[in-house]
Amino acid sequence: MKITIIRLSAFESAIARFDAWWDGRSPRERVMLSVLGTLIGGIVLVYGVIFPLQNARARAFADIRTYETLNARIRAAGALSPQRAAPRTGDPLSVVNSSGASFGVVAQVTPIPGGARATIADASYDSLVAWLADLGATSKLTVRRVELTRRAPGRVAAVVDFGS
């Protein structure tokens, strides 16, 4: 009797052990284990591969839509130019009145020492802020004091003191 030593790799050894274990199962157990393995493999495939790929694809499409929207907005805005608007000249009352009309801000302007006070009963917050920015950029008037009161959503009442 000759004894031979066969060296197996770890993988081959694991397969040999699995084959021995599998051969010890009855045909009914083999069918049940095969069905269970197929179900587990299907669940891992669906939840581990397919769903993450679908989610990544949906996020990528959402990102593309976002960037296309931003790109369209940038193109619609036109080129940025360093041109400044023409400076507004005149007394503070006329400057405040003429500027307010172009932004849809209706203000009652009264003179105060060193400037003017504009009282706005109701205006869009965005229009009011754009109006103040325009006055700062196109005139020598500076905002000394602003008192805002919230009205309906997006609407405000304001009292603004300007100085020169």
Q: How much is the average pLDDT of 134-159?
A: 89
Same domain, 51 and 99: no
Select from 54, 77, 100 the last residue of a domain: 77
Within a domain: 1:
no
pLDDT at 85: 66
Structure tokens at 66: 């976002």
| Maximal CA-CA distance, the chain | 122
Within a domain: 84:
no
Same domain, 72 and 28: yes
Same domain, 68 and 101: no
Q: Is the dihedral of CA 126, 131, 134, 135 positive or negative?
A: negative
Within a domain: 64:
yes
pLDDT at 81: 60
pTM: 0.49
Within a domain: 59:
yes
Spatial contact of 107 and 100, defined as CB atoms under 8 Å apart? yes
Neighbouring C-beta atoms of residue 110, cutoff 10 Å: 10
Domain with 63 in it: 10-77
**Among 55-64, 86-95, 101-110, 142-151, which is the least confidently predicted range?**
86-95
Same domain, 67 and 103: no
* pLDDT over 80 at 89, yes or no: no
Same domain, 52 and 99: no
Q: How much is the average pLDDT of 126-141?
A: 87
Highest mean pLDDT among 53-62, 68-77, 119-128, 155-164: 53-62
Q: How much is the average pLDDT of 78-90?
A: 68
Q: List b or e across 78-89, with b for residues whose CB sees 16 or more CB atoms inside 10 angstroms.
A: eeeeeeeeeebe
- Domain harbouring 124, CATH code: 3.30.70.60
Within a domain: 131:
yes
* pLDDT over 80 at 4, yes or no: no
> Taking all residues of the chain, what is their mean pLDDT, rounded to a whole number?
87
**Among 7-16, 25-34, 152-161, which is the least confidently predicted range?**
7-16
Within a domain: 98:
yes
Select from 77, 109, 134 the last residue of a domain: 77
Beta bridge partners of 160: 118, 146
Provide the Cα torsion 116, 117, 122, 124; round to 10°: 60
pLDDT at 54: 97
Same domain, 97 and 64: no
Within a domain: 68:
yes
Q: Assign residue 144 a region: left if phi > 0, alpha if psi is -120 to 50, beta otherwise? A: alpha
Same domain, 156 and 96: yes
pLDDT at 5: 67
Confidence of residue 102 (pLDDT cuts 50, 70, 90): confident
Residues whose CB is less than 8 angstroms from the CB of residue 126 and which lie 6 or more positions away in sequence, other chains included: 154
Spatial contact of 115 and 161, defined as CB atoms under 8 Å apart? yes
Same domain, 56 and 109: no
Q: How much is the average pLDDT of 73-87?
A: 72
Q: How many distinct structural domains can be found in the chain? A: 2
Select from 77, 107, 124 the last residue of a domain: 77
Q: How much is the average pLDDT of 109-119?
A: 89
